[in-house]
């Protein structure tokens, strides 16, 4: 069966510090990978998605970047965090097939920028 791991689960970072959140998927090959941010009352916001190694699409301009160095690894980064970057970040994956490729989420990472 497929599993998705995301870490760290919680982190508190000062403004201006760098960020690295990591995600890996097991039990599948060539997945589509996603980073979402969830804000209270605002639902899920798609930040980045990737259909293959080195292929990153950004949905919204922001202070964050994503990378996919390996097939099943997805990294969310920032060089300098802003207060507004605080939130709940979710990594997710789906199979790369046509027709209703359902999204499966990791456990999430709570980021507090202070």
Partner 1 sequence: QKEVEQDPGPLSVPEGAIVSLNCTYSNSAFQYFMWYRQYSRKGPELLMYTYSSGNKEDGRFTAQVDKSSKYISLFIRDSQPSDSATYLCAMSVNTGGFKTIFGAGTRLFVKA
Q: List residues near partner 1 by CB under 8 A.
A: 6, 32, 34, 41-44, 46, 49, 57, 59, 88, 90, 92, 94, 98-108, 110
Q: Which is nearer to partner 1, 12 or 15 (CB)?
A: 12
Q: Cis ω on the peptide bond leading into residue 72 (within 30° of 0)? A: no
Shortest spacing between CB 83 and partner 1, in angstroms: 21
Shortest spacing between CB 76 and partner 1, in angstroms: 14
Q: Which is nearer to partner 1, 15 or 55 (CB)?
A: 55
Query: CA-to-CA distance for 73 and 95, rounded, in angstroms?
Result: 14
Query: CA-to-CA distance for 14 and 5, rounded, in angstroms?
Result: 25
SS3 85: helix
Shortest spacing between CB 5 and partner 1, in angstroms: 11
* DSSP 8-state secondary structure symbol assigned to residue 53: T
């Amino acid at each position: 069966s497929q599993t998705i791991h995301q870490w760290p689960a919680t982190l508190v970072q000062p403004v201006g510090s760098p960020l690295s959140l990591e995600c890996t998927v097991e039990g599948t090959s060539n997945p589509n990978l996603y980073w979402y941010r969830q804000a209270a009352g605002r639902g899920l916001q798609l930040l980045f998605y990737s259909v293959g190694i080195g292929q990153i699409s950004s949905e919204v301009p922001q202070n964050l970047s994503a990378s996919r160095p390996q097939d099943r690894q997805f990294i969310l980064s920032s060089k300098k965090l802003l207060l507004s970057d605080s939130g709940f970040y979710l990594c997710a994956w789906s199979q790369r097939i046509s027709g209703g490729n359902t999204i499966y989420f990791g456990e999430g990472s709570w980021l507090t920028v202070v």
